[in-house]
Structure 1
Amino acid sequence: MSSVKNVIKDNYNMMLLKDYLRDAIKEAGFSHAEISKTPTGTRVALHVTRPGIVIGRKGSGIRELTDKLATDFGLKNPQISVVEIEKPELSPSVMCNRMASHLERGTAFRRATMWTLKQIMENGAMGVQITISGKLRGDRSAFEKHTAGILPRAGHHAEVIVAEDIAHVNTAMGLIGIRIRIARKEKFVPEFEMKVEKPKKAKQVKDAETGKMRDETAAEKKARTESEQIAMEEEKMKELETLEEEEAKLK
């Protein structure tokens, strides 16, 4: 087999592996996988938002995943490591999956888009662009593009700063594609001057024992699975006003 065919075969296998991992560890908030071949085997680093779900009780999840990668995908002696993502909202893959889940649950596409845009910018992104296309409103395909912040679109800066991912979701209307591009401040470019926002106050919640109001803890903010995260976001999303609702008030 020629070297070109080997490259094509490897890329195809990586695509199948990514699709499998996206579905298999969906609840863990899968972002991406880094695969490198070594003399002793294959190292697979899984970047997820909730490592505990991937590892499982007493490592059962890791063992099952290792056997699956070895038998179905032909990886020699796979050695899996799990890396936790510090800010899931700055990962295009995670946000694509979350937005796709919102659309699967029946959330209006524009409301889901504006909510995702807001979440990404509030978590320190330099800029973001969300493109959604497909059967959005009727039989004809259409697309919408929403942008916020500073997002280089071409040149060296775009290659260094911007990360992107694409996801597809089947809805009652038809197939919808989601593309999210995020520019991160960590890879800052001197030409762009960013404004520093003041930190927001912590949300007040009622203590079940004392009955007094207190600041919301980090454990209460974080959901245990991606499904819980989606459900929490849907409750908050109801407070978000779309352009159609704003126009209706003005009439």
Structure 2
Amino acid sequence: MSAVKNVIKDNYNMMLLKDYLRVAIKDAGFSHAEISKTPMGTRVALHVTRPGIVIGRKGSGIRELTDKLATDFKLKNPQISVVEIAKPELSPSVMCNRMASHLERGTAFRRATMWTLKQIMDNGAMGVQITISGKLRGDRSAFEKHSAGILPRAGHHAEVIVDEDIAHVKTAMGLIGIRIRIAINEKFVPEFELKTQKPKKAKQIKDKDTGKMRDETEVERKARTESEQIAIEEEKMKELETLEEEEAKLL
């Protein structure tokens, strides 16, 4: 087999692996996986919002996942490490998955979009753009773009500052695609700096699952899995007014 075919085969297998992880550890808030081959085996770094769910009780989750990667995906001696995401709301992958879950539960697409936009900006993003396309209202496909803050569109700044991801979700109307682009404030270039008030530091608490210190937030304090967090967000989302509701009040 030629070198080109080997590269194509490896990339295809990595795509299948990431698709599997996105579903298998969905409740852990899977963002992305970093896979690298070494002489000793294959290193797999899983970036998630809740490491305790992946690790499992006494490491049972890690062992099951290791066996799965070795047997089904033919990874040689997989060595899995779990990395906790400090700010899930600034991860495009996590927010795409959460927004897709809201749409699966029947939330109106515009309400889910505005809620996701608000969550990202409230957690210190420099800018965000959400594009949603597909069967939004009827038989014909359509798309909408919603943005806030400062978001470089092209050039070196866009490559350095902006992270993005895409997710797809099947609804009763049809297939809907979600694309989220987030400009990370920590990576800012001086000319793009936003002069805003610094957010108050959250209280540091010890995570019961991992034993590490993390920021205490209302959502994280109540929700132990991504499913629970999505359910909590749906209750709060009902208080969010969409453009249609604001227009109806003016009439």
Summarize deviations over 1:50-75 as a string: whole Å, max 9, x none.
Answer: 00000001101000000000111111
Instruction: Label 1:212 to 1:192 Cα distance change in 2 as closer, same or farther (>3 A).
Output: closer
Take 1:205 and 1:30, find their aligned partners in 2: how far apart are those partners? 22
Instruction: Label 1:4 to 1:246 Cα distance change in 2 as closer, same or farther (>3 A).
Output: same
SS at match of 1:195: coil
Summarize deviations over 1:178-230 as a string: whole Å, max 9, x none.
Answer: 00000101111111131223547999999999999999976863510000100
Instruction: Label 1:174 to 1:60 Cα distance change in 2 as closer, same or farther (>3 A).
Output: same
Summarize deviations over 1:117-140 as a string: whole Å, max 9, x none.
Answer: 000000000110000000000000
Calculate the TM-score normalised by the size of structure 2. 0.92
Which residue pairs with 2:24 in the alignment? 24
Instruction: Label 1:14 to 1:210 Cα distance change in 2 as closer, same or farther (>3 A).
Output: closer
CA RMSD, Structure 1 to Structure 2 (Å): 5.1
Summarize deviations over 1:91-143 as a string: whole Å, max 9, x none.
Answer: 00000000000000000000000000000000000110000000000000000
Take 1:114 and 1:2, find their aligned partners in 2: how far apart are those partners? 48
Percentage of pairs with the same residue: 91
Take 1:155 and 1:33, find their aligned partners in 2: how far apart are those partners? 26
Unaligned runs of 5+ in 2: none
Which residue pairs with 2:72 in the alignment? 72
SS at match of 2:66: helix
CA contact (8 A) 2:111 2:237 kept: yes
Unaligned runs of 5+ in 1: none
CA contact (8 A) 2:166 2:178 kept: yes
Give 1:234 deviation, angstroms: 0.5
Calculate the TM-score normalised by the size of structure 1. 0.92
Take 2:204 and 2:86, find their aligned partners in 1: how far apart are those partners? 24
* 1:92-111 map, 5 Å: 92-111=92-111
Take 2:165 and 2:210, find their aligned partners in 1: how far apart are those partners? 46
Moved over 6 A (4+): 200-217
